[in-house]
Each structure stands twice: as structure tokens, then as C-alpha cells.
A = this chain, B = another copy of it.
């Protein structure tokens, strides 16, 4: 069996059974307990591909059913793989080959506006109904904030809105730019709750249409507009800039441009909040399967890759929060809803699409649970005096916002 040597060294946790195309069965048992999974490999070529370029091949083999499960679930399989990879010494030849391939794939990585448009359309212009079928009612497609571990996705996404708003120190009438506004949920929340004037930009035409239509329906059209624009094309002056889940699409060659643009758009006493995924263990190549099938052009940075550009920009970093595990819980909620609606999603697309998305959602969840991914919040300002000297206001404002939301409900219940 081709993979035997590699798996013998790699499996330190859990048990992996493998049945190869010739019907040979081998079991690899790690010294520590963990998931127990048996896979069947349906042809010999897939064994070679798993050996040389496993990060791409595993997801493709799963989508194409050239790898199937005899025992355990996809979650178990990915947990087994990722837990063992997180501990593996990847200096062996297989790790070197994989890193070499990944390096080639990202060596000339640039996101000029035309390519950024294509990349974003690839993912976010999928059927709106798909997003309805696994996201919350406001279609927030970024990490939620779980005030309690057992909060549901609606509660956690509303808590995220308050958590971000508290860091933005909003006052009525302020001009707010939402860079990478998605379907406009955060913008509508800010306009509705704080009486601010929101401009959102995104490169998904589906998102622009949905966001504007919904703002009109909710009577917010005078205070909210959503534009089909690259962040580099944004114009005007803004008191506040917020960007949730866009930095992952910016690309590592463009952080200097991003901060220069923010500096240009921001008022002298302005405040910025950037919310992004990050690698805790330092710069890492993007997963090639995710890049090919889910997020073309995406790059998840380490803080050490973003900070040099921020420092050079002359802006102040005024706070940095690291959110751990919140995205694992968010992705779990999305996956559970996806599974509940799988039959309908299969009707819109097909079974292979469902397998692809299940792989994506589970692999992402595990990247936050056992891998080194986290969410960072960079609060940024031009002037070191633009935000209060103590961070207490963040917690206090967030609690006030929650109390204010509950108050009308309490009054109504009386």
C-alpha cells in the first residue's frame, strides 16, 4: 500500500483503516485515543495524489467519491487528519513536496480589481437561496460571537453586531463605510440602531441587489446604500470604517494598499475595525482545495504579515482582540442547518456540490477547533486619542446595547 509509510508515521491520535483499490486492508493506530475511521480508496491514482498533494487531493477524492467511508463520518475523518497534521513534523519529504506545490500555486498571487471581481463572484454570486438555507435570517456570512456556548446562530450573530458596534463608538449622523459589506446585515443594523449613514461596498452583484432591496424594504434606503465597488475604488470621507471578513480576500500583496486607502478615506478622528481570520502559528500557505473550489484568490494572513503594513501606514493600532473557537461554533451551526436543508440544496445544485460544501464547512470548523485559525479584530485610528484610554467602554456599551434591545421586549411583555 502506497500510503502505508506516510500513515505509519503520521497517525499519532485515533485509528485509521484504509482499504485500497486492490482490496488490501491496513489499520493505523496512534498511541493516543481519537476518532476511528475506515476509508476505501477506489483507484490507485488517488493513492499517488494523496501521497504527493494530499491537501488538494483529499477534498477532490471526497467530492468525486473516489474516497468513501466504510466506518465513521466525514467529520471524524477530517478531525483525525487535522489533529494528526497539527502535531506532525512536516519536515519530511511529503511535507516538502506539499509546501513546494503550495508555494508554486501562490507565487504570483496578485488581486488586481478585475481578478478580485471574478474571485468574489465565484463564491458570493451563488444562488441566494443557498445562503438562505444555511446562514442566519440576516445572512451574516462571517464569524459570530457566542456570549454563551449554547447560543444559537441568531443570538450569536446579533451579539457579533453589538460587539463590533461597541468598538466603533458611533454617534448619530456619522458616515460609516462597510468595506466588504456582504448582504448588508451589519450596515442595516448600524443604520437602524445608531442613526448613522452607511455606504457598503462589495464585488458581488447578488449581494448589492439583495442588500439594497432589503434596506428599501426596511425603510432604511435613505441611510444605507450598497455599491458594486472594489475597496480601492471607494470615495469620500468616513468617520468610521468597518470591514468584516474582507481582508481574507485582499491578498497578502495588497495590505499596504488597503491601509493607505483607509488612511485616505478616514477623518482625522476616525475609527476603524477590521475583522479577519488569521493564522496563529505564523504565515501558512492557503489550503489548495479551498483556493480551487471555494475561495479563489483568498489568503489568510498571520498577524505578523498584516502588522508591518499597518505600522508603515502611520495609523495607530488601538486594540487587537483574538477570538478563538467562536468560528468553530459558527461553522457548526451553519453545517447543522445545511444538513437540515440538504435535500433542497441538492435540488438546486447536485450531490457533488453538497459533498463539496460539507467538506468545506467541516474542514473550516476543524481549522478553528484543532488547527491554528482564529479571528482577529484590529481597531485602528489616525489619532491615538480617537478612542478612550481604557477599554472598559467596549464591554459597557455592548451591555447597554443588549439591555436596550431587551427593554422594548420587556415593556411589550408587561
Contact = CB atoms under 8 A, between A and B. Distances in A.
Interface in A236-286: 279-283
Interface in A370-414: 374, 384-385, 389-392, 394-396
A387 to B, nearest CB: 9
A147 interface: yes
Contacts of A216: none
Q: Which of A280, A317, A325, A390 has the most CB of B within 10 A?
A: A390
A113 interface: no
A281 B318 contact: no
Contacts of A146: 389
A312 to B, nearest CB: 6
A146 B280 CA distance: 31
B322 A320 contact: yes
Copies in the complex: 2
A103 interface: no
Q: Which of A281, A394, A396 has the most CB of B within 10 A?
A: A281
Contact of A304 (B147, B279, B304): B304
A303 interface: yes
B302 A304 contact: no
B318 A322 contact: yes
A325 B391 contact: no
A311 B281 contact: yes
Given A303-B307, A304-B304, A395-B392, A324 B316 contact: yes
A114 B394 CA distance: 45
Contacts of A394: 391
A282 to B, nearest CB: 4
A314 interface: yes
A215 to B, nearest CB: 30
A308 interface: yes
A326 interface: yes
A132 interface: no
A316 B86 CA distance: 14
A116 to B, nearest CB: 26
A146 B389 CA distance: 8
Contact of A319 (B149, B321, B396): B321
15 contacts: A146-B389, A281-B311, A281-B314, A282-B308, A302-B311, A303-B307, A304-B304, A316-B322, A316-B374, A319-B320, A320-B321, A321-B391, A325-B385, A374-B384, A392-B395
Q: Ordered nearest first, which 10 A-B pairs have the shortest CB separation?
A: A282-B311, A320-B320, A304-B307, A324-B384, A395-B395, A304-B308, A392-B395, A303-B307, A282-B312, A304-B311
Interface of A: 146-147, 149, 279-283, 302-304, 307-308, 311-312, 314, 316-326, 374, 384-385, 389-392, 394-396
Given A283-B311, A303-B317, 6 more contacts: A302-B311, A303-B307, A316-B374, A323-B389, A324-B384, A324-B389
